[in-house]
């Protein structure tokens, strides 16, 4: 059995190897630190995508639409820690500037060698062991341990932080993603993309899935869902926004949000 502990300040979860679930896209109000242990997975945060390697730690900022696309043929194992902004505010900002900086808007990847150098995995294991017995003493020590964890993560990011924007991807994929980021609100078809980029639509589909782990249609749908959230956060009304983000009618908008997030638009954007 895995462990899951939740308080107002932090959440710690440990999932043993199991058949991969279908994970809906979601947002939360905490900073998340996902330790990828085993499986086949790509991580999607906003319009950023990254194929995960065993041992990667993914840091995701609050209010970032994200999900993990999993290979259903491989057992999936992970641990994650979520820390609330209020919890982090108790730590001197100079010690966690790489985590809280507005410079980073999506996700950051800490790779295995760096994670091992800063002994980040031990924080997950020690915290899980402490919280297996939920005494007040253990909860107190877990909170202290997580403050140390945040400072160590900050140092690891400073030493070896890789944004997906600077990760190695083929020039062809970079061109495709840049075009989609600019034109996601248009009526996009593979035939049109094939003509613009002088590629077969079959090659485009293969390239996108091979390098990002998601399909072109998934990428566009998530981009549109996230764009609506950005406009809503700026004070717009959903009924005035969804068409501007590429949805032809409310029915298609409703179905897409429900399919990718598992929630109704009123719930997801509420």
> What pLDDT digit, counting tens, does each position of 181-214 carry?
999 999 999 999 999 999 999 999 999 988 887 8
Q: Which residues contact 251 (CB under 8 A, 6 or more apart)?
A: none
- Please state whether beta strands 3-6 and 161-162 pair in parallel, antiparallel, or not at all (unpaired): unpaired
Using a pLDDT cut of 90, give the percent of the chain over it: 58
Confidence check: pLDDT of 162 > 60: no
Query: Where residue 145 falls among pLDDT bands split at 50, 70, 90?
Result: very high
Taking the CA atoms of residue 212, residue 170, residue 62 and residue 118 in that order, the dihedral angle to the nearest 10 degrees is: 100
What is the distance in angstroms between the CA of the first residue and the CA of the last residue of the chain?
33
Structure confidence at residue 9 (pLDDT): 95
Structure confidence at residue 250 (pLDDT): 94
Report whether CATH 3.90.1150.10 matches the domain 3-166: no
Name the residue among 20, 136, 37 with its Cα closest to residue 80.
Answer: 37
pLDDT 10s digits, 216-227: 998 999 899 989
pLDDT 10s digits, 85-132: 999 999 999 999 999 987 777 788 999 999 999 999 999 999 999 999
pLDDT 10s digits, 32-91: 999 999 988 888 887 778 889 999 999 999 888 888 888 888 888 999 999 999 999 999
Confidence check: pLDDT of 269 > 90: no
Structure confidence at residue 20 (pLDDT): 66
Find which of 62-66, 133-137, 233-237, 261-265 is predicted with most confidence, using mean pLDDT.
133-137
Average pLDDT of the chain is 88
Task: Give the predicted TM-score (pTM) of the model.
Answer: 0.79
Q: Where in the chain is the domain with CATH 2.60.120.280?
A: 3-166
Residue of 250 and 45 predicted with greater confidence: 250
Class of the domain covering 171-262 = mainly alpha
Mean pLDDT of 235-250: 90
| Cα separation, 88 vs 96, whole angstroms | 8
Q: Where in the chain is the domain with CATH 1.10.10.60?
A: 171-262
Range of lowest pLDDT (51-65, 157-171, 232-246, 255-269): 157-171
Range of lowest pLDDT (13-17, 50-54, 159-163): 159-163
Long-range contacts of 94-103 (CB under 8 A, 24+ apart): 95/150, 95/151, 95/154, 96/150, 96/151, 96/153, 96/154, 97/154, 98/154, 98/155, 98/157, 98/158, 98/161, 99/31, 99/59, 99/150, 99/153, 99/154, 99/157
């Amino acid at each position: 059995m895995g462990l899951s502990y939740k308080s107002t300040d932090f959440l710690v979860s440990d999932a043993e190897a199991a058949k991969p679930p279908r994970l809906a896209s979601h947002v939360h109000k905490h900073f998340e630190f996902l330790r990828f242990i085993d499986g086949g997975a790509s991580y999607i945060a906003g319009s950023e995508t990254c194929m995960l390697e065993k041992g990667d730690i993914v840091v995701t900022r609050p209010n970032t639409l994200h999900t993990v696309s999993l290979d259903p043929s491989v057992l999936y194992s992970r641990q994650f820690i979520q820390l609330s902004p209020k919890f982090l505010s108790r730590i001197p900002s100079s010690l966690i500037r790489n985590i809280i900086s507005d410079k980073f808007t999506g996700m950051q990847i800490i790779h295995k060698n760096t994670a091992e150098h800063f002994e980040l995995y031990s924080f997950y294991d020690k915290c899980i062991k402490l919280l297996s017995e939920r005494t007040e003493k253990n909860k107190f020590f877990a909170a202290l341990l997580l403050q140390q964890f945040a400072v160590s993560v900050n140092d690891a990011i400073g030493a070896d932080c890789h944004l997906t924007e600077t990760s190695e991807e083929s020039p062809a994929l970079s061109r495709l993603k840049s075009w989609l980021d600019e034109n996601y609100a248009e009526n996009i078809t593979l035939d049109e993309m094939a003509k613009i980029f002088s590629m077969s639509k079959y090659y485009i589909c293969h390239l996108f899935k091979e390098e990002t782990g998601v399909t072109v249609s998934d990428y566009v749908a998530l981009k549109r869902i996230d764009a609506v959230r950005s406009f809503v956060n700026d004070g717009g009304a959903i009924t005035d926004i969804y068409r501007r983000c590429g949805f032809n009618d409310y029915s298609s908008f409703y179905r897409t949000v429900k399919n990718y997030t598992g929630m109704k638009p009123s719930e997801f954007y509420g």
